[in-house]
Structure 1
Amino acid sequence: MRALLVVNPKATTTSGRTRDVLTHALRSDLALEVAHTEYRGHARDLARDAAERGLDLVVSLGGDGTVNEIVNGLLTHGPSDRVPRLAIVPGGSTNVFARTLGLPNDPVEATGALLDALEHRRERAVSLGKAMTEGLPDRWFTFTAGLGFDAGVVGRVEAQRKAGRKSTHGLYVSQALRHYVTEREHRRNGPITLELNGQESVPGLVLAIISNTSPWTFLGNRPVFPSPSASFDSDLDIFGITRMTAFGTARTVRQILRSHTPADGATGPVGPTGKHLVSYHDVRHFTLVSQEPAPFQVDGDHLGDRSRVSFTGVRRALRVIV
């Protein structure tokens, strides 16, 4: 089997030792190439080249941003049986996609799990989301996209990281609080409208979180559940807030941090509820339109401001080693 290992040396928990152990282990079973990323988008370019050369497997050693770039490179020409399989060894600060697949968060343990999965040929086909903006390249995402408040927080964190701050869960929390304080007007009158095919539009959203799986993210070891029914086997889930009062926001935060188990008589996990909350499960196509350009993110990567983004869920889009 011909494989490419893509290493992001700047990922939060990626180390030379982890890279060396993984390289040595994989070379015992695979015809392995190793490449280190050198610029933003490099992992995408490496994965696209691997797919065009007919390699069988691409292994990511990095965080969710590295995985997202690789996925977008692999799917440059869309899903097909010729697309290489993806394997992940987590090396970032959160590693949402790997953890929601059930992979160990420790890179050494994940290496062992990967070798075992390769030996026993374990893989699964997962659904993905695709975000489309007129005049810009389409962007695949593995676990989340967002327009509005949450994407603004991601943008703040990226600015802090460029200034030399280390990516930590505490940094995300502090920037979320700062963003809440500074976005007072938008917290009351959201500029975003959700357009659903064949249904009445939902205006006034402060934020819209699109989930391809659950949980949405992690705070340390604690999962966060805005859309607990989201799954790699279905289309996309949408969670929105139309007003962020202090009391209401605190209540919503408590709900999305709680354990979600079916209530008596319920057929699935119970999501957050409230007067200013909206949620939809297993939606194939929809569009978000903002009265003014709003922050936009996919898989924790801030992509600037957007006024209109369409989304689609694509089932069985990619095969992943598990």
Structure 2
Amino acid sequence: MKKIAIVMGGFSGESSISLKSGKFIFKNLCKKRYDPYEVHISKEKWVVKIDENHEYSINKDDFSVIIDNCKLIFDCVFIAIHGTPGEDGILQAYFDLLKIPYTGCDFYHSNITFNKKYCLPFLKDFGINVPNYLFINKNQNFCKKNILDKIGIPCFVKPSKSGSSLGISKINKKNELDSALEKAFRLDKEIIIESFLKGKEVSVGVYSFNNEIKVLPITEIISQNDFFDFQSKYSGKSQEITPAKLSFEIENNIIKIAKKVYEILNLSGMSRAEYIVVDKTPFFLEINTIPGFSKESIFPKQLKSAGLSLPDFFHNVIESCIK
């Protein structure tokens, strides 16, 4: 059987969510087809964790591990790290050097999609609708009045490189800008200030097998909070309707744009993107190339709605990247 390293954890505030995703994938991976291992990565250590009392250090020179005096080399890596170093391309570059197959897109496209500073202008140049935005650096001189005059209120302040809505603030009054900037700059030296769009928020899962791009049933998100923040996502403070109640015209338009975004970004494996539908027009917000797979996550609910079993889906993901 092929030995699969399910890599989880990471260096960011999303590590706890990543551990849930990794364990979920481990649980639902077909044990008749694969021999899976939990690989926990943190700033302090990289280990294969067998249970709470037994863990074995990874040799970073070749990503191998010694267990019971036997050297274990993995046939494939299933990357389940949200944030750095799994979603920003760092691990992908590492595995490319070692020539170990891994799930998802490569270093270059992971880096583009994770960094809003690159992703939004890139898609905008291809005719994808995005909110009005501007980027500022931590050490840059900028005029707060000019920012708000250009973007307007309400607006969002976001770290350029962050997921799970960490570090994001919605600005409803001018005097809220300072604290929002401080919050975002704690997570990233580059931030985006983005106009507020009033409309229906939807989440769109996309994957590809055998060079065919497929879109999963769309999810409508209704947050109990002011926006779809970390608490809404992971503490049950939102209503997620799958499939979303959309007109045939709007649904087809979203599917068309979701496929186009996937193609423009040259993605592989799975992704989940967020859009705001204003009137009948979808506006792209952000994309996640390593969707969450915890109990609360949207992507597995979309798979269930599509009638796709998790073991079969994971099998196709692994076999596609090995090929």
- TM-score, with structure 1 as normaliser: 0.33
